[in-house]
Amino acid sequence: MIQLIRGFKDILPGEVELWQHIEKTATALFSDFGFKEIRIPIMERTELFARSIGEDTDIVEKEMYTFPDRKGDLITLRPEATASVVRSYIQHKLYAKDPVQKFFTIGPMFRRERPQKGRYRQFYQINAEVFGIESPHIDAQLIIMLANLFSRLKVSDVKAHINSLGCPECRPNFKNALTELLSSRAESLCSDCRRRSTKNPLRVLDCKVPTCREAMADAPSILDYLCPDCAEHFETVKASLERHGVPFTIDKRLVRGLDYYTRTTFEIQTGALGAQSAVAGGGRYDGLINMLGGPEIPAIGFAIGFDRLAEIAASGFSDLQQVPDVFIAALGKKSQSAAAGWAADLCLSGVKSEIELSGRSLKSQMKRADRLGARYVLIVGEQELENGEVALRNMATKEQASFSIDNLVNQVKSHIQG
């Protein structure tokens, strides 16, 4: 038997309904905030991710699914969505009409990580990106929007963690101080962090290895190195969140994993999955559009881990599975023929219907209707056809009513929706 590739998963009926509910809830909320949906390709040129994410990051070095096409060009299954949305914004000159654009996208990403609970090699994200707004108020607005989304999805065990990564003016001073500390504690660091300490020292702050966390416990905070503009920006973000009653924690270790982030960075963390972990994260990336060949336009965005969100939201939505409004139990060939037409007409009129066409006994069909959770069962046999009447049973109350087969669809629809 051929089975799934390790790190991939099927999303089965029963779970899909929850995913659809999350998508609808997110889409409605984002639309209220002025976001428009954009759909981007699953594959891009490898150069796009190498330049935007950073060639020295774990994603580019170890995790991307990259392969040459028939012409020898390197192609990569997208490991994240922001670079692709920026590429589209630049390629189609969407800034020419109005540099301020708000987009969201929902879909699969691919990284060859070690599979574990809530983490897959094909994973899904909900992404939102804002281009053309430099104000710190939009930073806070995205966090407010995220908090409201989790509230609508009945996810309560979450909290925002925020930090600032500074800008090209103030970050070098912090990097120098951090690099000096790292060089004095190299023996206490894991092999990955020793490598990062020279190429991407900020990433050491985000390491989860206990020895590294202990070694960096007294590491300097970038907040102490912010230039006046970055400091003012961060203070405005905090004040806006406080004004809207969104609880947050200032987390000096929060650096995010991609090179393009600047200034505000944030995560929404939850304890619902056991250990404290991020279910959403993002931040400002003011230089990325220009880095990829576009004009100097500021930007900010976030990504939600759909797989993790679905897992923690599941307990609040146990009644989303689709069940039939009407199950038609047909006995005999003539009855099955008539019932098949009624079933199609009921479905086309907006009444979810299922029909049994196997020729099983009425008792077996009633058991199947019960397993499916059908609200009503329409019973028709040869005798009912001759008499011109059928029976409709309410599966909750066990009450039964008779209806003429003339104009049956409208009668049944009126009865169950009345």
Cα 154 from Cα 288, distance rounded (Å):
34
Pairwise pLDDT comparison (185 vs 279), residue with the higher score:
279
Closest CA to 160 of 22, 275, 315, 302: 302
Instruction: Check residue 217 and give its pLDDT.
Output: 80
Same domain, 301 and 341: no
Average pLDDT over residues 88-101: 96
Residue at which a domain ends, from 258, 288, 316: 316
Residue at which a domain ends, from 316, 339, 369: 316
Q: Assign 257 a pLDDT band (cuts: 50, 70, 90).
A: low
Return the number of other C-beta atoms located less than 10 Å from residue 6's C-beta: 10
Range with the lowest mean pLDDT among 5-14, 252-261, 320-329?
A: 252-261
- Check whether 200 has a pLDDT greater than 70: yes
44 found inside a domain: yes
Tokens found for residue 18: 């929850």
139 found inside a domain: yes
- Check whether 289 has a pLDDT greater than 70: yes
- Check whether 79 has a pLDDT greater than 70: yes
Same domain, 340 and 383: yes
Same domain, 401 and 304: no
Same domain, 282 and 154: yes
- End-to-end CA separation in angstroms for the chain: 49
196 found inside a domain: no
Instruction: Check residue 259 and give its pLDDT.
Output: 65
Classify residue 146 as exposed, middle or buried by CB count within 10 Å of its CB (0-12, 13-18, 19+).
buried
333-348 and 408-417 helices, crossing angle to 10° = 60
Instruction: Check residue 340 and give its pLDDT.
Output: 92
Average pLDDT over residues 130-136: 97
Average pLDDT over residues 57-72: 87
Please give the C-alpha separations between residue 128 and each of 27, 99, 105, 125, 364, in angstroms, as whole numbers: 10, 16, 7, 10, 50
Same domain, 161 and 243: yes
Q: What is the pTM of this model?
A: 0.86
Query: Percentage of the chain surpassing pLDDT 70?
Result: 97
pLDDT digit string, tens, across residues 374-389: 999 999 988 888 888 8
Instruction: Check residue 56 and give its pLDDT.
Output: 66
**CB 40 within 8 Å of CB 104:** no
185 found inside a domain: no
Same domain, 354 and 409: yes
Cα 192 from Cα 278, distance rounded (Å):
21
9 found inside a domain: no
Closest CA to 142 of 19, 259, 271, 248: 248
Cα 190 from Cα 33, distance rounded (Å):
43
The most confident of 47-61, 245-259, 294-308, by mean pLDDT:
294-308
Query: Percentage of the chain surpassing pLDDT 90?
Result: 59
Average pLDDT over residues 281-305: 95
- Phi then psi dihedrals of residue 99, to 5 deg: -65, -25
Tokens found for residue 214: 């202990």
Same domain, 158 and 109: yes
23 found inside a domain: yes
Cα 366 from Cα 377, distance rounded (Å):
8
Same domain, 162 and 103: yes
Contact residues for 315 (Cβ-Cβ < 8 A; gap 6+): none
Cα 19 from Cα 24, distance rounded (Å):
9
Task: Indicate which CATH number applies to the domain containing 358.
Answer: 3.40.50.800
- 43: enclosing H helix or E strand: strand 43-45
- The pLDDT mean for the chain works out to 90
Tokens found for residue 349: 């009129």
| Total number of domains in the chain | 2
Same domain, 231 and 347: no
Task: Indicate which CATH number applies to the domain containing 98.
Answer: 3.30.930.10
Instruction: Check residue 273 and give its pLDDT.
Output: 67
Handedness of CA 50, 54, 60, 61 (dihedral sign): positive
Pairwise pLDDT comparison (221 vs 259), residue with the higher score:
221
By DSSP bridging, strand 389-394 and strand 400-404 are: antiparallel
Q: Assign 328 a pLDDT band (cuts: 50, 70, 90).
A: very high
Instruction: Check residue 193 and give its pLDDT.
Output: 82
Range with the lowest mean pLDDT among 141-150, 316-325, 376-385?
A: 316-325
Instruction: Check residue 276 and give its pLDDT.
Output: 55
Same domain, 348 and 309: no
Which range marks the domain in which residue 240 is found?
Answer: 16-170+226-316
Average pLDDT over residues 359-363: 88
3-state SS assignment for residue 378: strand
187 found inside a domain: no
191 found inside a domain: no
Residue at which a domain ends, from 249, 281, 316: 316
Pairwise pLDDT comparison (118 vs 149), residue with the higher score:
149
Same domain, 335 and 312: no
Q: Assign 187 a pLDDT band (cuts: 50, 70, 90).
A: confident
Question: What is the chain's length?
Answer: 418
Same domain, 21 and 152: yes
Instruction: Check residue 300 and give its pLDDT.
Output: 97
Return the number of other C-beta atoms located less than 10 Å from residue 201's C-beta: 22
